Amino acid sequence: MQLPACIAGSMLALIERLKQTMAPKHDDGLESAEHPAALLCEGVLRRLAHDLKSPLLTLVAYCHAIRQDCGDAVPESTKFMLDAIVKTATKMDHRIKAVTQLAEALVGVPEKRVINLCNEVNLISANFVQEVGNERISIHTEIHPAITVEFASGDLQYIVEELLRNASKFSDKHPVHVHVYAQVVCSWVSLKFADDGIGVARRHGERLFELFYRNNRDEEYDGDGAGLTIARALAIRNNCTLTSHRSTQKMHSHAASHPISALSKCCMPLPSEMDP
């Protein structure tokens, strides 16, 4: 998932063309260096030139972040440029398509669309498995049809990046299955990740086992699953609670919860079982 020099050169060329196309002209025919689109292109250009090995997912996440931070203030020409960059990067790696579609599907989901969300994500997951080939991963979501889920897209981007990073370590002989569940409890969003016990480098196994054992007193846990790493990282990044348990189907389930709104004070957060 590193950005090869040839791809980096193509991206730089694309940005330069967009910059020249969208920058307005003064009466004297000179381009305006202060045009928002030109400034934004310069920022992306500098970022790519500084680190040609940046993963493509980082570039996509960066573009999305700019678009969200600017909000309605982003000129249409700038939005076009960002979309062009994302689409170009997506064509370079099919995995990005699954990542961006999944993230967009789960951000600010309107209530009328929640009912169909499972089918949409399952379709994305099926396309992902078909396109990637050796790197097989199954992503499923189950969301109650009566709720509206509100997350920051950065969190979801981070989650899916972790899923892909862990899945890439295994061949199709050892497919990684991670099930993602979301629900709202007392104004808190609860994300649960169930995995089959693989997905994280073995060097993290001892630390993960220690955390899992202290949470559950379960000496039979012998996996170093992706779900626990993802849930724990999400919890740390968002000051969430973290709980873990082992199901009867030998799937390890981990959950991270955080408030939908900072103004939600009607309920206390779930007791934290994370180590200090």
Whether the Cβ atoms of residue 212 and residue 228 lie closer than 8 Å to each other: yes
- As a whole number of Å, the end-to-end CA separation of the chain is 34
Residue 65 has a pLDDT of 54
Whether the Cβ atoms of residue 54 and residue 17 lie closer than 8 Å to each other: no
Residues with Cβ < 8 Å from 128, sequence gap 6 or more? Answer: 94, 95, 97, 98, 137, 139
Same domain? 56 vs 166: no
Q: What is the pTM of this model?
A: 0.22
Per-residue model confidence as pLDDT tens digits over 57-96? 445 555 555 555 555 555 565 566 566 555 555 554 444 4
Same domain? 132 vs 240: yes
Tell me the pLDDT of the chain averaged across its residues: 43
Residue 103 lies in a domain: no
Residue 177 has a pLDDT of 42
Residues with Cβ < 8 Å from 5, sequence gap 6 or more? Answer: 52
Determine how β-strand 137-143 pairs with β-strand 176-185: parallel
Same domain? 148 vs 220: yes
Residue 126 has a pLDDT of 32
Same domain? 129 vs 227: yes
Locus of tokens 């969190």: 155
Same domain? 88 vs 137: no
Residue 225 pLDDT level (bands cut at 50, 70, 90): very low
Integer-rounded Cα Rg, in Å, for the chain is 21
Check whether 273 has a pLDDT greater than 50. Answer: no
Per-residue model confidence as pLDDT tens digits over 232-264? 554 554 454 554 444 444 444 444 443 333 222
Check whether 11 has a pLDDT greater than 60. Answer: no
Residue 81 has a pLDDT of 58
Same domain? 144 vs 239: yes
Task: State the sign of the Cα–Cα–Cα–Cα dihedral 107, 102, 153, 42.
Answer: negative
Residue 61 has a pLDDT of 52
Total tally of structural domains belonging to the chain: 2
Locus of tokens 């025919």: 29
Per-residue model confidence as pLDDT tens digits over 129-157? 323 333 333 333 333 323 233 333 444 44
Residue 107 lies in a domain: no
Check whether 268 has a pLDDT greater than 50. Answer: no
Residues with Cβ < 8 Å from 167, sequence gap 6 or more? Answer: 135, 136, 137, 176, 199, 226
Same domain? 211 vs 162: yes
Residue 204 lies in a domain: yes
Same domain? 134 vs 244: yes
Spatial distance between the Cα atoms of 3 and 52, rounded to a whole number of angstroms:
6
Whether the Cβ atoms of residue 163 and residue 137 lie closer than 8 Å to each other: yes
Residue of 276 and 225 predicted with greater confidence: 225
Residue 20 lies in a domain: yes
- Could you list the residue range(s) of the whole structural domain that residue 173 is in? 124-259
Check whether 206 has a pLDDT greater than 50. Answer: no
Residue 66 has a pLDDT of 55
Check whether 217 has a pLDDT greater than 50. Answer: no
Residue 59 has a pLDDT of 53
Token pair listed for 185: 């409890």
* Secondary structure of 6-49 as H, E, C letters: HHHHHHHHHHHHHHHHHCCECCCCCECCCCHHHHHHHHHHHHHH
Q: Average of pLDDT values for 189-201?
A: 41
% of the chain at pLDDT higher than 90: 0
Per-residue model confidence as pLDDT tens digits over 32-56? 444 554 455 545 544 544 444 444 4
DSSP letters of 217-247? Answer: --TT----BHHHHHHHHHHHHHT-EEEEEE-
Same domain? 137 vs 42: no
The tally of CA atoms less than 13 A away on the side-chain side of residue 76 is: 0
Residue of 181 and 21 predicted with greater confidence: 21
Residue 250 has a pLDDT of 45
Q: Average of pLDDT values for 179-194?
A: 40
Spatial distance between the Cα atoms of 161 and 99, rounded to a whole number of angstroms:
7
Same domain? 82 vs 131: no
Residue 57 has a pLDDT of 47
Residue 63 has a pLDDT of 58
